[in-house]
Structure 1
């Protein structure tokens, strides 16, 4: 029985720590495909590499068909009429599939090209076939005699009248034994009933019994079995202890093991001897892949956490060892799916690239890469090839980088043109390691251009002339600038001047201002230096004009002309502002001269300018007898109108007499 607590975790941690194992998540480069299977139960999977088909049986008297899929798990056909189909086996040439039909007490033969049954071999009313293996040209059958005793029998399809023949000399079993045979045809046949195992050489007549059924060291609850090519060894998936153990077919002595983890339940061996060791574990990797007699796994695969487990006997290899097929079952729903793993017998290799993503022409590009392997470190002398390509060009550059012991490498480069570059790194792999590749996109931009724009003042009088000077730094071929002016409120820029800069890199222009204005200098760029625009905003005062009326004479104090008012009269002030500031504010500021200086006397509230941008004000003078005064208008910038800054007009001088 399987323990479902966290006690599994320490064993997993110890294993990973001891072998340096990298667990590949579902969806990684080697876990290529997961496909739901239209099955309600699963018993056995057989791989037909000739037609690139998988055959899957359901192992229950209620399910009477064999599912056929392609190598991606897509349904190709359903072979019906296979009542209670259990074990299945493929002939050595791949031309026929044999199926154990429990309910019909028979073995059927199916043409693997047409996917049709072509013949059927009855076992007799009491014999119930359960498992099959092909060896030495014969179909070997593990069966139950109907009375609780199991045995091994054979059918020779090449005989003139093929019949089922029990082989009593192969021992008595506590139920129908599972069978496995040497895929290379040496004659080795192994049987197990879950607690005992036996070894035979069926290439002789009569069959040579190497070892009669007996228990094995380090193996209880024998769930699956596979014979290594050549027939000298076999591997058992034993429910306990937690490893896949190797045994010699000659005497069933122990020959080593492949480390896995809790509850081994599946094993498959490819034509080169690579071993896939599967477990029914919760949190561990579900499958470990080893080279023959290897001590360290090449790869390990986790199939989606505790919900998805590898099904019992749910592993199969393609004949060339490039694909490993795993049947998975959801523990919550019972749903079945197929996981297809590519090149599992090659250690996973992964390349990653980081570094420069964008830089200016002439600057160094530095690409740092890491080659990581599923197991171990890159061997000394490992090289990675990096090819630089430019979008829109057929020109390339090639770099060879040496990989350090930690997997790191660096490539530096200085491209000679702007554009979108791709640096493609390739690790070729070797006999035991898969190739890998990665790319890094790098944009080479034009060199930033130095451009400044200055003005000879920050604020100007209305109608005054602003002089702006642009200074262009180093460029390659382009030395022309354009200078524009955009007055406040305008939607267009007016070109003031377009010309080459002088020998000092300067281009100057003057422009009369009536409102605040933004100047811009534009360099269009050249093949090496980037385009750039810089701006300079200057402010413009309003023009405030004022005049006095109501005086009766004029008089000079020094060089200053004063208007003379009688104290019984009114001082009239007329103010106009340009540009038109209809509705905006104008104030009057009045100062009095005494004790040798001017002192503030009065500032009026806002008066609103009329539609003609004018306003008139009146001041009573009865309290100002004998004094000397001056007055000026003050335009106050208001609201959202920032076209002109607040501006004082000129002082107007007057005196009051009795």
Structure 2
């Protein structure tokens, strides 16, 4: 393959009076990229080189791809490329450059521009078609569309005889907009023209075998054919055109009249033997000539397919399919001449394990299936995660089939039926799921509802009863509070007694769960125990001058005018407060004064200075407490600190 350098391409562009050209050809080290465009500007397949060419109008580029849709190379500098066509031998790629107003000839193998033919118009050229000796193009505004031609054999040095305008108005009035064009190798010398830009249906068929076009058939825009034209294709072997991807119209008598129809579509391309590839929104279908039902369908799951083209050998259909970001991606649709059957599988929604069930379904196709077609069947379940083959099933003459099976495993059981395809049909598969019952296992977990001191190490034991094969149990600990995630603390097989234990450090109230994930005969099960944890709380007393007992109780002694400092240490949690309880002793009884909440610092401390009474003989006591909910959070259980006794003397 010959690769043009940038300098050579630039010199060639200057020779033909245009902007600089950029040519790139993908090398072996380049990562494979699927061809895509922002604004479709033509699509054509080259059977000689087994390439596909895609124009991008917005970037002025033409991309070449292989038959898988992988980019081979590209050429830029084709201003407003709007349509592409190939010479009969596949050696020259022709492009309509609508913004630079020229027809561009490109070497189909190297992507080097070989000639540029300026077109004396400010509206086009727009559409292209190629016959044996000329390149035809349309141009013009909404009300004065016309036809032009390029004679590649004329001497480019003279500048004469290469581009001729007004070819349609030579034989008839002009059409609306730059018209659609089509030629067909099976109909040499025949050119179809159809208007664009309006919802009417003006069209013509021209004989272009001579030096000047001759009118074969004409239809004016009188709405008698009742559709707007979005596409026109010559039908091989008949004096017909296919319009809008669906309507066939005969032109045998010099006019046009309806001659049949395919199901609704927007555009089409006619391939070998009259096969039709049709676009209908995001669906693409192929039809045999004059068939009422599709041969093959592809649903691309998108709203729009811009353009399509047959490979000349009929091996595939190329389509520009709308995708993410508004770009169009080149898709290579294989086996277009094979019918794609439809297969259904209908299994019961639910069924008991180890009991016989029946699965039914149907295999249908728009092209008759061979008698006695067989389906392979597999069952996928917990015992056979890779699928277990079941006996093959023969399809009845009406397409229906059925088979019975006894599922040995419970859980989700999937039955899959497959048809391998044949010379006229593609392969197809379908499946359905059954919820097969499983026994409920025994699973328990101790310590539910128990209360523990802060940071106690508590052993939780789960007990698993009878199961089939799986004897593994997981134990999870989920401390209260959003900052602590649920954590797996142990996963192992239970011992011979069916037990498994794990130790939890109880710094918070905690949900502990035991999880059995089930097996082929026993269902999954989870049990939960919620255990509770106190906070760690203590209070240090300072500023006293001694400690001594009054009766059997030890007191901190303060002078009557000294303010006691009471410093509480409590397990920290963001926003946590300790409740300060104060009581006074009077005539043999303790009486509660108002309780008050004080914040706990990030160091876990809360210091409170108690105002001295100023008189002697006063006895008080205090304690710090954490109240679940009242202290600002709910991650621990209510905890009361010990009482601290204070006595005020002279």
| Structure with higher RCO (Cα < 8 A, 6+ apart) | 1
TM-score normalised over the length of structure 1 = 0.49
User: Whose strand fraction is larger, Structure 1's or Structure 2's?
Assistant: 1
TM-score (norm 2): 0.50
